[in-house]
Amino acid sequence: MLDADFFRRWMTATAASVDREAERLTALDSPIGDADHGTNMQRGFTAVRATLEKEAPDTPGAILVLAGRRLISTVGGASGPLYGTLLRRTGKALGDAAEVSEEQLAEALRAGVDGVMTLGGAAPGDKTMVDALVPAVDALGDGFAAARAAAEEGAEATTPLLARKGRASYLGERSIGHQDPGATSSALLIAALGEAAAVEARHE
């Protein structure tokens, strides 16, 4: 079962990974965006980490709802409301249980990703974060490592795609040949699930 500590570790592992990869995310956002995705994500997850250190919600759902709210209030870009919605919806779907199963997390994340697609209007294949998140959620039943591999593959598979949503879509055909920054950061978020679980395994 996954408890509140697991979800706190998920958010702090994401913040650490975003710190490490911020330059790369911004570099990916240069040719097909406005070169701010790394700084946007870093500002957002740094705020999430700080908030979770101060306030300590004691359920998985409350942690994700709070994290989502912080992202919405601190990230200016398109990705802020989208990631905020992802975490808030996922958190709401988890309800007020003290512990949740991996299956419940997979179901809740599915609701979160549906929220992202409703808010942003993107479908798989539009060259957005959805291209990493949907395969990750599909693979989550096979464990965190499978979800990570699916997200990374999904992010890499955005390279040959034509962007149909977000800033990159303004470039039309010129968006082809570049990996989507948001799909890349989504793969970091999914990879952090495995990191949060690994810490737990070491403690047992």
Q: Which is nearer to Mg ion, 36 or 195 (CB)?
A: 36
Q: Name, in order, each residue with C-beta under 8 angstroms of 170's C-beta and a sequence gap of 6 or more.
A: none
Instruction: Find the shortest distance in angstroms from Cβ 44 to ligand ADP.
Output: 9
Q: Which is nearer to ligand ADP, 102 or 156 (CB)?
A: 156
Q: Which residue is nearest to Mg ion (CB)?
A: 33
Q: Residue 95: name its binding partner from Mg ion, ligand ADP, none (Cβ under 5 to 8 Å by kind).
A: none
Closer to ligand ADP by CB, 116 or 137: give it: 116
List of residues contacting ligand ADP (CB under 6 A): 29, 33-34, 36-37, 40, 77-79, 82, 116, 120-122, 128-130, 165-167, 180-183
In the bound state with Mg ion, the residue whose beta carbon lies nearer, of 107 and 180, is 180
User: How many other β-carbons are positioned within 10 Å of the β-carbon of residue 43?
Assistant: 19
Work out how close the CB of 141 gets to ligand ADP at its nearest, in angstroms, rounded to a whole number: 24
Cβ–Cβ < 8 Å for 150, 123: no
Cβ closer to ligand ADP: 121 or 141? Answer: 121
